Amino acid sequence: MATYDVVDLIKTKRDGGTLTDGEIDWVVDAYTTGVVAEEQMAAFAMAILLRGLDRTELSRWTAAMIASGDRLDFSGLSRPTADKHSTGGVGDKITLPLAPLVAACGVAVPQLSGRGLGHTGGTLDKLEAIPGWRASLSNAEMLAQLEDVGAVVCAAGSGLAPADKKLYALRDVTGTVESIALIASSIMSKKIAEGTGALVLDVKVGAGAFMKDEASARELAETMVALGTDAGVTTVALLTRMDTPLGRSAGNAVEVAESVEVLQGGGPAEVVELTLALAREMLAAAGRDDVDPADALADGRAYDSWRAMISAQGGDPDAPLPVAQATQDVLAPASGTLTRLDAMAVGLAAWRLGAGRARPGDAVQAAAGVTWHAGVGDEVREGDPLLTLHTDTPERFERAFAALEGAFDVGAGPVEPRPMVIDRIA
């Protein structure tokens, strides 16, 4: 590989120039191996934030990040593969019912997930509320489980896109998190390296999402779909609502319990709606649009698949989930219709109760979180519980209550229901 002067490359991008394939390959590799210093890559990331990367540059940048580590190969499986990525939101437990549901329909789901940071929670944190369940699997264990069960949700190994892991940490402390190009390449480098044949993206929009407005969410979705397409992965994105928290729970064990309800044929209507919408996209992208996932929910196959998936990773699907040592209710201030419930406020309350972490490596409480007893558009009565706060450390209640001040409105109805899916981008 040819070598370059990183300062010249920083100046090129700073001044709005275009980087060559060789320059991109070199700078990503040199940063990963320590040849390019942190402060130099910080300047480079800021130049990208301000000037952007065109489609050719961004595709090459993403490919270079993938090439920095391992790439999994599922071509030997007896069924096609499809994966889902969500940009994160409050109460977003969709991976839990979705992976076993799609597996029950004949498509393998290799879902490499992460831990939560801040108010949105992490899939692995939720599943670790199940007694005995383990997140770390070897590649051989993952392949065997995909063949036998059809679904795996586990921690991503350190060998996948190590350039992204290093750059992600740098962006967090240099004010460059908001770059659409860097967000898209971060997500897609990991997802493409996972080796899935098809990918469905759930891009959240609203108060409880990273992308607060539809225009930004649409730009991110279109950028990621283009990256997947350029890499030869069938990629589709759905823009979905995240002004109101999803379902009736935000936390860890409380979200597992809600997911099990969905898999058993119940659960909140909007969780079922979004789970089925994403399942249909995953099945179609994998060439199995002849199967209706609603049937697998109704006849119990999805729940059987969940039990097999949990058991395969050491978990006991019959074990009672952790219950918080202390709970307190937030009461409805008046009778009427719940017209607003702010997703960010609910997520912040769950985080303050112990369901999330402020820094990587912090412990989380399995039982902590928030449940709410009415959704937007539902009737409530003055003095009845509107939300319930759960924690093992009661001294956290005060700050959680503070987060919920002004977080909801009760007024005259009705509230016009809105579909979860705003748009589809392919």
Q: Are residues 118 and 209 in the same domain?
A: yes
Residue 131 has a pLDDT of 97
Q: Are residues 293 and 378 in the same domain?
A: no
Q: Are residues 223 and 307 in the same domain?
A: yes
Q: Are residues 297 and 212 in the same domain?
A: yes
Q: Are residues 112 and 256 in the same domain?
A: yes
Residue 116 has a pLDDT of 65
The whole domain housing 406 covers 326-411
Q: Do the domain assignments include residue 291?
A: yes
Structural domain count, the chain: 3
Write down the mean pLDDT value for the chain.
95
Give mean pLDDT, residues 334-360. 92
Condensed to tens digits (0 to 9), the pLDDT of residues 67-95 reads 999 999 999 999 999 999 999 899 999 99
For residue 377, the number of C-alpha atoms closer than 13 Å in the C-beta half-sphere is 7
Q: Are residues 402 and 264 in the same domain?
A: no
Condensed to tens digits (0 to 9), the pLDDT of residues 146-201 reads 999 999 999 987 788 999 989 988 998 899 988 999 999 999 999 999 999 999 99
Q: Do the domain assignments include residue 29?
A: yes
Looking at the DSSP bridge assignments, the partners of residue 326 are 391
Extended strands (E) in 286-377: 326-331, 336-341, 369-372
CATH of the domain at 393: 3.90.1170.30
**Phi and psi for 8 in degrees, rounded to 5?**
-65, -40
pLDDT of residue 5 exceeding 90? yes
Q: Are residues 228 and 250 in the same domain?
A: yes
Last residue in a domain, options 312, 344, 374: 312
Condensed to tens digits (0 to 9), the pLDDT of residues 98-120 reads 999 999 999 999 999 877 666 66
**pTM (2 decimals)?**
0.94
Q: Are 249 and 369 in contact (CB under 8 A)?
A: yes
Share of the chain above pLDDT 70, in %: 99
Q: Are residues 27 and 138 in the same domain?
A: no
Q: Are residues 214 and 112 in the same domain?
A: yes
* Residue 264 Ramachandran class (φ > 0 left, ψ -120 to 50 alpha, else beta): alpha
Rounded alpha-carbon distances, angstroms, from residue 301 to 33, 52, 106, 231, 263 = 47, 46, 11, 33, 9
Q: Are 208 and 89 in contact (CB under 8 A)?
A: yes
Q: How far apart are CA 365 and CA 380, in angstroms?
A: 30
Q: Are residues 19 and 91 in the same domain?
A: no
Condensed to tens digits (0 to 9), the pLDDT of residues 302-315 reads 999 999 999 999 99
CATH of the domain at 35: 1.20.970.10
Q: Are residues 253 and 126 in the same domain?
A: yes
CATH of the domain at 272: 3.40.1030.10
Work out the pLDDT band at 229, boundaries 50, 70, 90: very high
pLDDT of residue 280 exceeding 90? yes
Q: Are residues 336 and 296 in the same domain?
A: no
Indicate which residues carry an active-site annotation.
Answer: 85, 164, 171, 186, 190
Q: Do the domain assignments include residue 299?
A: yes
